[in-house]
Chains A and B, each alone.
Chain A
């Protein structure tokens, strides 16, 4: 498959958050301010790209040759958890300002289902190494996009009069529903 199409598909048409429901927890939790949404999005995109590469290598160079695909989930989640730690330490050493922006979001990423989902989807769809890399960047970009749009809307929502039971999570879900509806308009963009 054409790599550009794969990128667009992962970022927009089959947006991880709005069509696969992956990464909903940070989507609800960290989408109150546009600035923190951007940082979170970038942190996720960064980890996703590395995860896509590392899990591909593990699956195809370790699990498949030794026929231990049964350990797929255990090894993926361990790799993701350690990767997040490594990335955190690395960023802390290399760039203090970057660490201050991304730092607090990194530990949250381990339990972000978008990361494990990404690794599982690339195995399921039998992507090549380059394809999984592009898929990772695209999915990360899509996650950032959804998060930033949502944060923009929520900043406005704070000023509006919402019925009390719906404040917080309720209205967030309903707004997300409208966003998902809007994103459905992209379906078919790449097929013909």
Chain B
């Protein structure tokens, strides 16, 4: 009995101390982590939209959209939103910015992915210090959304709705485009009916 009691007491004390330490530490780190997440979100929005003074966060049918606005103007400069879908090896999530009429893309940024290192991951690796300066997300600026975005291989895009695939990562490139194509109509409809 004495032994059992000791076991229970020691373990309870250890777990209680652990809980106490972690609760304190949680209080210290949580605001910092939340701050970093907010900064990352802001950076992503400003990456995909033309320059704006502030943005408004709106919940439309469960989709969060971020509307970029310039002070003194009622017309937004663009709308940003997050889309998700499966890529070559797992989920890819992308922040997409479009103009207020949903005609063309203003920019995209890949937020999360687990593609093949060195190939598929070129969707997130800025090549500005590399030998080959081809930067896949950059070419989305100005691309026309409808009827749909198309991917071309090994050639310069001719039409306003085309982008060029990353060589060696065609499936990843197509996945990015497909994720945008699959979601755009629904977001457009819900945004326009809400306004």
Interface residues of A (CB under 8 A from B): 1, 9, 13-14, 68, 70-71, 74, 125, 187-188, 190-192
Contacts and interface: CB of A to CB of B under 8 A. Distances in A.
Interface residues of B, number: 17
16 contacts: A1-B86, A68-B23, A70-B23, A71-B19, A74-B15, A74-B18, A74-B19, A125-B91, A187-B116, A191-B86, A191-B88, A191-B89, A191-B171, A192-B171, A192-B174, A192-B175
B93 to A, nearest CB: 11
A1 B87 CA distance: 12
Nearest to B25: A70
B-side interface mostly: helix
Contact of A191 (B15, B19, B87): B87
B22 A70 contact: yes
Interface centre among A1, A13, A125, A187 (most CB of B within 10 A): A187
B127 interface: no
A93 B174 CA distance: 54
A70 B15 CA distance: 13
Given A70-B25, A74-B19, A187-B89, 9 more contacts: A9-B90, A13-B89, A68-B23, A70-B22, A70-B23, A70-B26, A190-B86, A191-B86, A191-B88
